A and B are shown apart, each in its own frame.
Chain A
Amino acid sequence: MSYLKIDHVDKTFQRGATSTPVLKDISLEIEKGQYVSVIGHSGCGKSTLLNIIAGLTPITAGAVLLEGKEVRDPGPERAVVFQNHSLLPWLTVYDNVALAVNKVFGGRKSKAERHDWIMHNLDLVQMGHAKDKRPAEISGGMKQRVGIARGLSMEPKILLLDEPFGALDALTRAHLQDSIMQIHATLGNTMIMITHDVDEAVLLSDRIVMMTNGPSARIGEVLDVRLARPRKRLDLVSDRTYIAAREAVLKFLYERHRFVEAA
């Protein structure tokens, strides 16, 4: 039995009398510890898919099963790293993570243990030094690091990342990609990441799920990226498997399922 099973999921948005089919017959199985990327053009419903797994968006038909149990509502075992970090601006970096840790581990860990766990997670993303800063006082990349620390601190079964590096500049993005690879190697988390960056998908993922254009988007292809870990971005530039994987994704996105501009 697979760790996460997405079983024939349909999603249709209803607004008044008009209904818009967004996702059609999505089926996917993800093993424990896998890093899976979902890639597709904007508007294809990949964020909707992530929200469905998170439980934030109700399903029209089908089911999502985590360890055989149906997912119906959001919960900390499926932590989300939001695209725009979604840190609470009135709380310090430390308190943002503490909000999650105190809620999830309030009954199970002592105060000192929780403090250590918060600091451990902040150190994991190299943000321990900024624990007393507020989100407005740190850079975009740092905010996203704290967002990741908050997600990890819930000790989720699956970490869901919604275009986590989309709003960052290229250098910061590369830096954070290295960090997330490191964390994945250390903790062995199962992670699902939404992205529209082909290089990012190939670099980070064990599998790349390519989605067709909406409405009624489907899973077009699933590509296994058979690259050894740890991966080094510079070594991969000339690596044949890397180039082939990159080409496969690019061809899918720009040849067979080119983005059609809505009139």
Chain B
Amino acid sequence: MGRAVLKEVETGATVVALPGAKPGVVPLPAPARKPISSRLLPGLRAVLVNVLPPLVTVALIALFWQIAASGPQSSLPPPTKIWEEAKDLIVEPFYWAGSQDIGLGWRILVSLQRVAIGFSLAAIVGVLLGALVGQSVWAMRGLDPIFQVLRTVPPLAWLPLSLAAFRDSQPSAIFVIFITAIWPVIINTAVGIRNIPQDYRNVAQVLRLNQVEFFFKIMVPSAAPYIFTGLRIGVGLSWLAIVAAEMLTGGVGIGFFIWDAWNSSRLSDIIVALIYIGVVGFVLDRLVALTGSIVTRGTLTN
């Protein structure tokens, strides 16, 4: 058997030029384009594979919840009741019927605005402080222990102090976001900067880059993957903190909405708000991760 195969290969290996045949490239007949359905199918399949399992899980959870919460003594509303009671919140996130009677979309936007301000400040100050701590041994020795202690303080513990300092709920909430998000940014930036390869520093030294050029042209791009890890953790923490802070400070945000709903026993509204918060937090996380992967394209691979 093996011998026969070998023989076949041998004879197949000798190429005999046919008389009159020009050596050259023989054009192959163009492959017929596949029908559109078969080209779309793999993409569709990928979508189904990724989307179907969570949908099934959600359906199962809803079903279980429905059964568990349907009893007459149940303290929590089942999904059908939530739909009846809070339909307007679900289908119309952006209605406006007075200063306190507004859609959850608006409330989320107000909360997001606070997060945007507090988180942006935390990102800028955090990267600068992280750069200082990462670059200077003495700054690290002096500041790092303080950071390590302060970062364990829970976000809400800062709120009374900031209310006392700012005498207004809006800047206090923003400060709580800031102080919550800044620690992971500082710490990750510092690690990233400590990990800048000596080679890049040598290049900078040979070129005589000044401090500002070094910061923007070497430090930030080189530490970008670490910085974005910090930012991603930071944005998650800010979103956690804003809901809690708003419960206490009041105003328009989504956090206060939950507190208000609790005080008026609107459990269905609370559950809808929780889902809103979860989805927005997920989107925020993905946005930062996406920005990071675009910005740091090429940085990780060498």
Give A residues with C-beta under 8 Å from B. Answer: 54-56, 73-76, 78-80, 82, 84, 86, 88-91, 99-100, 103-104, 134-136, 154
Contacts and interface: CB of A to CB of B under 8 A. Distances in A.
A100 B213 CA distance: 12
A88 B301 contact: no
16 contacts: A56-B206, A73-B205, A74-B205, A76-B206, A79-B206, A86-B200, A86-B203, A88-B203, A88-B221, A88-B222, A91-B221, A99-B207, A99-B217, A100-B207, A136-B302, A154-B207
Nearest to A100: B207
B109 interface: no
Contacts of A89: 298-302
A168 B227 CA distance: 34
Nearest to B299: A90
A208 to B, nearest CB: 25
B202 interface: yes
B208 interface: yes
A39 B297 CA distance: 39
**Interface-centre pick from A56, A86, A100, A154 (highest chain B CB count, 10 A):** A86
B207 A54 contact: no
Contact of A74 (B208, B298, B302): B208
Most chain A CB within a 10 A radius of its CB, from B203, B206, B298, B301 = B206
A240 to B, nearest CB: 40
B298 A54 contact: no
B208 A136 contact: no
Contacts of A134: 298
A76 B208 contact: yes
Contact of A103 (B199, B208, B221): B208
Contacts of B202: 54, 56, 74, 80, 82, 86
B48 to A, nearest CB: 34
Contact of B218 (A54, A88, A135): A88
Contacts of B224: 90
B143 interface: no
B209 interface: yes
B195 to A, nearest CB: 14
Interface string B228-249: 0000000000000000000000
Contacts of A55: 205
Given A84-B199, A88-B221, A136-B301, A56 B207 contact: no
B298 A75 contact: no
A8 to B, nearest CB: 25
Nearest to B210: A103
A90 B208 contact: no
B199 A82 contact: yes
Given A74-B202, A86-B203, 6 more contacts: A55-B205, A74-B205, A78-B206, A82-B203, A86-B197, A90-B299
Contacts of A54: 202, 206
A161 to B, nearest CB: 13
B266 to A, nearest CB: 51
Nearest to B296: A90
Contacts of B213: 103
B299 A103 contact: no
Cβ-closest 3 pairs across A and B = A86-B199, A74-B205, A136-B301
A73 to B, nearest CB: 8
Contacts of B300: 89
B298 A90 contact: yes
A75 B204 CA distance: 9
Nearest to B201: A56
Given A90-B221, A136-B301, A136-B302, A103 B205 contact: no
Nearest to A103: B207
A119 B218 CA distance: 23
B209 A103 contact: yes
Interface string B263-302: 0000000000000000000000000000000001111111
A226 B300 CA distance: 46
A56 B299 CA distance: 25
Contacts of A91: 221
A74 B296 CA distance: 29
Nearest to B205: A74
Interface in B153-186: none
